[in-house]
A and B are shown apart, each in its own frame.
Chain A
Amino acid sequence: MVPEPPPAGNGSSAAPGIAVEARNASKEFGQGEGAMRALDDVSVAIRKGEFFTLLGPSGCGKTTLLRLIAGFDTPTSGTILLNGRDITADPPNRRPVNTVFQSYALFPHLTVLQNIRFGLDMLGRKRAEADARAAEMLALVRLEGFAARRTAQLSGGQQQRVALARALAPAPEVLLLDEPLSALDLKLRKEMQRELKRLQRETGITFVFVTHDQEEALTMSDRIGVMRGGRILQIGGPREIYNQPANRFVADFIGETNFLAGEVEAVEGDLATIGLPCGSLTVPATGLGQGQKVTLAIRPEQVRIGEAEGLPAMITGNVYFGTDTHCHLELAGGAEIVARLQNAADDVAALDEGTSVRVSFAPGSVQVLQD
């Protein structure tokens, strides 16, 4: 009576190596006038065995997308595919996808062991098999001594581990994690971040992880999908997202960025000269037309301060951060930028407020954003 999780599909349209995919998925809440578009034509393909993170500010639709994948909601339009098979109409109990809930949602009337066994029992696994698997899961999350405890008698971190073990026990194709670490304090959170990475490596299961913490996303993910207002703005590895943000929102949301408004003065091959109020800058860029308005994005750690060449600027202040110092500068023409200087280097002390300097940028570090 109880279905096995459906076997890996071999649908004709499946790109090999794709575990789960949303195609043009939209979700509207409410109808008519008051309708609210929580997801707007989202397409994303998550690879087998990868640690994929959905990153974005509150209300951007991260949970909604997870719920569509888990089957708790159905998309207003579009399809959800698992191993290339269309599962849009399948109820959650027919999808080999498990969820770690933000509130953990552990069953309070069951023990730790019974919680972990729940999925296996519902799948009708043999007793001995379920026992063995549950014991294996307890060991995996390092809770061997806690099998007989009630979940209310556990700490937050321990409950988190039970939730993970419970979701991993049926060996799902995809594990969905909706901000699982947000209820933990900083230290435990760092510990659980490492723990999650370890679990993902050891099990090889595809993880779809939701967070609004950009640092968490950068440190943990194989790839990141940055979301805003129900859309996915950019998908890429942490380095790509950080170094080549697709637009101003991504550049701003992830890490700190200096933005400089400018205009294209000349294009020569794949080099463009951008005019700024304080001078002009030649950078590699393609697809630009003369006279076009652009924004330059430069990470603070890529800003070089010197005396000989570059754009003229004046130091307006220094903020000491321990490992580094943030040096605030005003460029000629009024634009303000921040340079991050490593404190290990000893040329920092000399930069007093009011000093006139010249600013340059590390080669290849200037991103031209067309907005």
Chain B
Amino acid sequence: MAERRPFSVTRLPGFTAIAIITFALLYAPIATLVAFSFNGSESIAIWGGFSWRWYAIAWQNTAVQEATVRSLVIAASAAAIAGTVATLAALGTTRTRPFRGQTLIYVLVNQPLMVPEIVTAVALLIFFSGIKLATGYAGLGYLILAHSAFCVPFAYLPIRARLEGMDLSLETAACDLYADRFQTFRHVTLPLMAPGIVAGVMLAFIISLDDVVITEFVKSAGQDTLPTYMLGQLRRAVTPEVNAISTALLALTVLLLTVFFLLTRKRD
């Protein structure tokens, strides 16, 4: 006798068709973009044979080189700062006695996930322009600070999840075995939360690398990152060079996300 199954969405009529169409819609544009990054001709729509040509051109373009370095510097700095802040915040919200206002702290830490990005962008633009005027400083610091701020929740969530999943009796055991607070943190808590920190930092790195809106508002002249450079290019003549840069960025992101997934996946 056939086993009666509970409701299953996979058995609704048209399920397979809808699934295929959805995936096609999601991935067809990306597939096209990737395919045309290998186009031999000047066009982003007419196929002219396989070639690495646009990768070579992008590689030699000094503007691309500079934007890439800038993007990586900002993303690395922002990821480091956000990772540190998020680690401390996660420790503060999981390794303390429950305190009044804990939920408020949680909301505040995650604020960038909820406030519309354009609002943050405008606010930062106005705020930073005041400081720029007062101090005369116009370096990358503003971008790094802005990126750090909106990267915090992305770093915070995996770190907090890791800390909450940790068996508290391990820290008790360390303390029982003559470790003081610092040694307990150094030899037990930190190594056990490390995968969470790495995952959080990598997520922050990706989010920073990808940002357009806030960067576009906060950057000074000549501070294009890779995404804002590409946006600028698209306003002019479009060549498959943009496809090549996008594909490279995509490859990097997929790589980082794979590592992130491997780190956060439950091992059991």
Contact = CB atoms under 8 A, between A and B. Distances in A.
Q: Are A and B bound to each other?
A: yes
A214 to B, nearest CB: 27
B222 to A, nearest CB: 46
Interface stretch (B41-49, B165-173, B237-245): B165-173
B169 A122 contact: no
Interface of A: 2-3, 5, 70, 72, 91-93, 97-99, 101, 103, 105, 107-109, 118-119, 122-123, 166-167, 170
A166 B175 contact: no
Contacts of B175: 72, 91-93
B192 A118 contact: no
A367 B208 CA distance: 79
Contacts of A170: 177-178
30 contacts: A2-B178, A2-B183, A5-B178, A70-B176, A72-B172, A72-B175, A72-B176, A92-B176, A93-B175, A93-B176, A93-B177, A93-B178, A97-B176, A98-B177, A101-B169, A101-B173, A103-B169, A105-B169, A105-B172, A107-B170, A107-B173, A107-B174, A108-B192, A109-B191, A109-B192, A122-B179, A122-B183, A122-B187, A167-B176, A170-B177
B26 to A, nearest CB: 38
B188 interface: yes
Interface in B166-215: 167, 169-170, 172-180, 183, 187-188, 191-192
Contacts of B172: 72, 92, 101, 105
A2 B180 CA distance: 8
Most A CB within 10 A of own CB, among B176, B191, B192: B176
A28 B35 CA distance: 70
Contacts, number: 60
Given A2-B178, A5-B178, A72-B175, 14 more contacts: A72-B176, A92-B172, A93-B179, A99-B176, A103-B167, A105-B169, A105-B173, A107-B170, A107-B173, A109-B191, A109-B192, A122-B177, A122-B187, A170-B177
Contact of B178 (A103, A107, A108, A119): A119
A255 B167 CA distance: 37
Interface in B135-184: 167, 169-170, 172-180, 183
Contacts of A109: 191-192
Q: Majority SS of interface residues in chain B? A: helix
Interface in B80-126: none
A92 B177 CA distance: 8
Contacts of B178: 2-3, 5, 93, 119, 122-123, 170
A119 B177 contact: yes
Given A2-B180, A91-B175, A98-B176, A107 B188 contact: yes
A5 B169 CA distance: 22
A93 B180 contact: yes
B25 to A, nearest CB: 43
Contacts of B173: 99, 101, 105, 107
Given A119-B178, A170-B178, A105 B183 contact: no
A104 to B, nearest CB: 9
Nearest to B171: A105
